[in-house]
Every structure is written in C-alpha cells, then in structure tokens.
Structure 1
Amino acid sequence: MDRALELAGVIVAGVHQDHGADELVREMAPAIAELRRMLALRIDGGGCSPTTAMALSRADLAFAGASGWSLAEYDVEDGFFTVSCPHCDLPITIAIGAHGRYSAYRDWDEGDVRRRSLNPALADQLGGLGKRMYATARALGLALLAEGLTYLFGRAERPDCASTFIVADQYAAGNEPHHSSDGPVPVGGR
C-alpha cells in the first residue's frame, strides 16, 4: 500500500503542475479525497522506514494540492535554497542543515557572504501548510525534518537592508503552480 500511495502522490503532483489541467484537478477531487483518507490511516499506523516516511510525507503534500512542495528537494540535513527577496527581488541563499541555518548572498569566489541567522517559527504557532508539514513529519517519526521545517517556515533577514520575510512564502511564490480551482493549501506563515 505504501508504494501505491507514493506513486499516486507523484501522479497527483504531476497533474497539479500542468497549468492546463484545472478541469482534471476538479474531476479528480473525489479520488484525491479518498487517497487523503487512506494516507491519514497509514500515517496513524506508523512503523515505516525513513525513506517510506518521506515518500508518504510527499504524497500528503501532493494530495493537499501543494505539488511544488511535494516535488521539492528540501534537504534539512544539508540543504540550500534560493529565494527572491520580496522587497527587491535579489536572490538570497537560505541554508538549513549541517552548514548552518542562515540567509546570505552567494558569491562565486567567496561563498555565502553577509550571513544572517534564521529565526525559526515556533512549532505551536505554525499555520496552514507549515502546520500540516510539521505534524506529518512528527507523526512519521521524521524529527530532523520537523525541526528543519521550523526554519523553513521561519523568518530570514535580507543581508543588506535587514528587511525580513518568511522563507517558505518566498519559496512557494517561486515554485508553486496556481490553479483556478480550490488550488494548493496556503503556506500560512506567522
């Protein structure tokens, strides 16, 4: 059943990525609702490997309409993300993992410069998709992912002007497709 849910998640994520598939997304709503129900029962059952747990977490995101997040490679052990500053549109590097938890400018010769520490979200104050992702990670025993998500849904500072933004909001703005149907679950930062 785990593999079937994982494959269904990949298919649903792919359909959500197709900007011309609004009608298909609406037609699939009952099937996706059933897949979400089955997945919730499976998650409550626990007892799966970390690889399977991550696949089920991705399927949950796809079934919630968050295909960009479902397909993302958010590695919180050694991850780097590039987002655009919402104030000036400059690219900002976000590190979450073994190299630290910071925002910076990436310089070809010098690496990440003008680093600023990320401010994690408090788990009990997460909303929307952040709350869903955190709860699913915890339920699946993915403690490192759950901790990393507090930084992903936390605040970053732009190195030059000290303006702040929620990392996940900026990531979603550049990566989530938008459909005319009910669409993806809102990110919902703090």
Structure 2
Amino acid sequence: MYVSKIPKTIISLVQPAVQATAARLFVLTTGRAGSAKYQPTVSTFYETGLVTALYEQLLMSPALASYEIRHEMPYHGPLGAPKRVDLWMRPVGGGYPHLVEAGDYSKEKIHDDISKMNSLNSTGANWFLAFFRGPVQATRPFRTLEASLNRGNGLDPDLIEIDRRLTTSFTVYRPDGNSDPFGAALIRGR
C-alpha cells in the first residue's frame, strides 16, 4: 500500500496528542479532592477527548498547513439528522477528502465506520484510527490486526487494508510513577 503524507502525518501525531491529553488530565485532577479516589488516565479516557487532541495537533502541523481540517464534519443525507465523521481534511481549494473515524479497537466498530464512510465518501480516502489500550494489544497493534485478518470471524480483508508503517506503540509515563501502554493503527478502508 502506498502511504502518502496525510496518513503518515496522522499516525505521527497520535503520540503527541495522547501525551498532551495525559498531561492535561494530570494537571486538572492532581490535588483535587474530588479526584482523590479516581484519576482518569489515557487508558480510561473517552476516545472523543483523544480525537479532539489529535485535531489540535493536525491544525498545528506544518505538513498539513495547506489542508482544510475539520472536526465532527456533518454530511447531510436525504433523511434524518446528518451523519458526522470525526476528522475531515482536503487540500485548500478542493480535491477529494480524507475522512477519519476513530475509536477503541473492535471489529464491529471498524467495519461499521468504514462502511459509513464508504457511503459518504466514495471517491476520497477513508481511514479508521484504532486505539489499543490493553496491556498486550497496546504493545503490538499490527500483530493484533494481522491475527484478526487471519481469523474467519475477524476483520474483513475485503473491507480494510493495513500497513505496519501506520501503527505506533508507546508508553505514557505519569509523574506518580505509573504508566499506561498505548497503541494506535491507521486502517484504510477499501
């Protein structure tokens, strides 16, 4: 699979986005009486906050300065409320868009979101950014995807395409000495 500037930039900005989220969570909850028993971490934080942090990183990226980038982009259909995609980007002045949906890794979520994006964007590129937060999956997202593609009841190889270059794994260290493993993979819809 050819890996262009947009997917390379997205996956490279996942770690700074997650680190920024972890730092904000630590600052906002440390010393707060209401957070004495439970302090949220990136391993428990809702995925929308991570997508918002990634959106901020994309807006600051010099590699994407010539792209329109939108968060929660609505697509209006013939009936009902508009469907939304987490991230939308295209060159300024037009061109085919790249749509990105994100969420915790699950076969059903990936298949549903890729199908939704394919119906909204038949000519552009559609991506799913999977977050891996479990202690085993977070350290090896590509192997997790490969294993799922090889299972009969796993990910559908006719629906998605994966590339090792579009996966990342890192550890988020907290000032209290604890750490959280985190992995991500950018999966292309077919």
Higher relative contact order (CA 8 A, sep 6+): 1
Greater strand share, structure number: 2
Report if TM-score (shorter chain) is over 0.5: no
TM-score by length of 1: 0.29
